[in-house]
Structure 1
Amino acid sequence: MADSATEIPSIIEESVKETIKNVTDKPPASIEGVAIAYLSLVVMAILPIFFGSFRSVKYLKEQKESGQAHETMSNKDALMFPLIASCALFGLYVFFQFFSKEYINLLLTGYFFFLGVLALSHLLSPVISLIMPASVPNVPYHIHFTRGERDGRSDIVNYKFTSYDVICLIISLCLGGWYLFKKHWIANNLFGIAFAINGVELLHLNNVVTGCILLCGLFLYDIFWVFGTNVMVTVAKSFEAPIKLVFPQDLLVNGFNASNFAMLGLGDIVVPGIFIALLLRFDKSLKRGSEFYFRATFCAYILGLLATILVMHVFKHAQPALLYLVPACLGTPLALALLRGDINALFNYEDQPAIPEAAAGDSKAKKSE
């Protein structure tokens, strides 16, 4: 009788464990595994911001030297961005509700495969140039297709590349094939990091006011779609594309075949990242030989990300990362600029000063002449 009494609780306990496993359908993760997963996400988040910011300085310098005007986000664009993002997010949610997610993800996989190969090739280009031995020549090529003759001739394709670019493309295609057929989390992260670095490098905020409008708008966007509805979480879990960084929490248990993932959306990296990159360019414009505002805000971003992970782990609920990242990334440089007397310089700084309408008209008239 006593044996039966002791067996009943153990049977119930095993039954509860089995039920939990069936409901969650996720392998158990150790405390060490969870810590490694979150630490890895933090590292993968800060590297694109760091390298992308310095690449943005180089990119802007090259654009200015070539005399080309780079595209920047206007205040109107910043105001509209959260609304456009909301429509796109809800549209995806509706699609996942009414159509099979396998077919949707198949279409998206092909689309992001193409973009990922281009992003990875652009990222690998300077690396390949550094590591290739001098015995391998970097042969330039030029593909040029035109339409018409003489004065009426116009370009259809005008693309210059080198043999090193071909090597980058081959490597990127191999990694893309791995992602396409295996959907492995490492391949996903390689594409995701490439997207993030390219985003921080090439997407430019022209001034701090535009950055404040964008971050504040997405601050409200993130809170609404995470806390107000289940739309954001549903789409994030259903969307099989490299728009998020993932790391397995059960890596120590199941190795590289682990399947219980912690995730971080690329928007939580790129959106604060383009603002932090703007601050680095502002630091360079001050010509003080320091990167004070960039480094301070970069550290604030790390603290904000750690706060997001801590709250998410304590409350066991998905958190809008921008709820913590936006106050950290906006409050830190504004407060420091106020204390150091740089607030006017910060708000007056522009990567590409606006051309007065009269001057713009004169320049157009000269070009037409």
Structure 2
Amino acid sequence: MSSWFVWLLIVLFCIGGVEVKTHFLPSINELELVFISNHYILYSITMFLYFFFFVLILVGLAFAIAWAITRKASFSWIGQDVLYVKILLYSSQYYLILLIQVATVLLCCAFVYDIFWVFLSPIIFHQSVMIAVAKGNNSGGESIPMLLRFPRLTDPWGGYDMIGFGDILFPGLLVGFSLR
């Protein structure tokens, strides 16, 4: 995988982490309906919310840029996991599964996909393609940020435990379906 493609994914990951912050707040249109009787209160609350959204986007942008700059440091897994969890929470709220058959097919396909690329690809390609891509072995040392990383505290070599986006999102969509 080329390094420019990994950089594109890093930039999109940062943009997604910044943009997702504003979706967890109530929309301004919902608040306008509540305060429609008094225009002064409506105007001041609307201006406050616009300012709050602007500050929130600046804080998210600063956080994403700080993570992108320090992404190779030993503590960068914290920032990556924060951005990742925000994107996962938004995705699980935005995407809805309407049929249990769709959830079953998605989970079965994800299971077969993971088994092939982690365990069967070393037989064909002489290395696990999924692990090589996640670690950035073939892209100049740049790794794809679309996974949760946790350091192994007892590992003398400083390795990480990793779990991918789909391994959390697809079961989360099924849980969301079962809660509705």
TM-score of the superposed pair, with normalisation by structure 1: 0.37
2:6 aligned residue = 105
SS in structure 2 opposite 1:187? helix
Partner AA of 1:247 in structure 2:
F
Partner AA of 1:261 in structure 2:
Y
1:236 aligned residue = 134
What percent of counterpart residues are identical?
Answer: 26
What is the distance in 2 between the residues matched to 1:213 and 1:237? 28
What is the distance in 2 between the residues matched to 1:200 and 1:278? 10
Paired residues, what number?
A: 148
Say if 1:242 and 1:195 are closer, same or farther in 2 by CA, change over 3 A. Answer: farther
Say if 1:110 and 1:274 are closer, same or farther in 2 by CA, change over 3 A. Answer: same
Partner AA of 1:260 in structure 2:
G
Using the TM superposition, give the Cα deviation of residue 167 of structure 1 relative to its aligned residue in structure 2, in angstroms: 2.3
What is the distance in 2 between the residues matched to 1:166 and 1:106? 26
Say if 1:176 and 1:251 are closer, same or farther in 2 by CA, change over 3 A. Answer: farther
Partner AA of 1:181 in structure 2:
I
SS in structure 1 opposite 2:110? helix
Which deviations, in whole Å up to 9, do the C-alpha atoms of 1:304-343 show, x marking residues without a partner?
xxxxxxxxxxxxxxxxxxxxxxxxxxxxxxxxxxxxxxxx
What is the distance in 2 between the residues matched to 1:213 and 1:106? 32
Spell out structure 1 runs of 4+ moving beyond 6 A.
Answer: none
1:245 aligned residue = 148
SS in structure 2 opposite 1:139? helix
2:96 aligned residue = 204
- For structure 1, list consecutive stretches of 5 or more residues without a partner in the other structure: 1-95, 127-136, 142-160, 282-369
Which deviations, in whole Å up to 9, do the C-alpha atoms of 1:272-298 show, x marking residues without a partner?
0001000001xxxxxxxxxxxxxxxxx
Using the TM superposition, give the Cα deviation of residue 259 of structure 1 relative to its aligned residue in structure 2, in angstroms: 4.6
What is the distance in 1 between the residues matched to 2:131 and 2:45? 46
Work out which of the residue numbers 12, 16, 37 in structure 2 matches 1:115.
Answer: 16
Question: Is 1:268 matched up with 2:171?
Answer: no
TM-score of the superposed pair, with normalisation by structure 2: 0.71
1:181 aligned residue = 69
Using the TM superposition, give the Cα deviation of residue 104 of structure 1 relative to its aligned residue in structure 2, in angstroms: 3.4
What is the distance in 2 between the residues matched to 1:177 and 1:221? 32
CA RMSD of aligned residues (A): 2.5
Contact in 2 for aligned 1:247/1:261 (Cα 8 Å): yes
SS in structure 2 opposite 1:263? strand
1:171 aligned residue = 59
Using the TM superposition, give the Cα deviation of residue 107 of structure 1 relative to its aligned residue in structure 2, in angstroms: 2.7
- For structure 2, list consecutive stretches of 5 or more residues without a partner in the other structure: 27-43, 122-127, 137-141
Say if 1:208 and 1:113 are closer, same or farther in 2 by CA, change over 3 A. Answer: same
Say if 1:252 and 1:214 are closer, same or farther in 2 by CA, change over 3 A. Answer: closer
1:29 aligned residue = none
Greater Rg by CA: 1
Partner AA of 1:168 in structure 2:
L
Using the TM superposition, give the Cα deviation of residue 140 of structure 1 relative to its aligned residue in structure 2, in angstroms: 4.5
Contact in 1 for aligned 2:84/2:147 (Cα 8 Å): yes
Which deviations, in whole Å up to 9, do the C-alpha atoms of 1:16-44 show, x marking residues without a partner?
xxxxxxxxxxxxxxxxxxxxxxxxxxxxx
What is the distance in 1 between the residues matched to 2:154 and 2:18? 27
Contact in 1 for aligned 2:152/2:160 (Cα 8 Å): yes
Contact in 2 for aligned 1:138/1:164 (Cα 8 Å): no
Contact in 1 for aligned 2:135/2:144 (Cα 8 Å): no
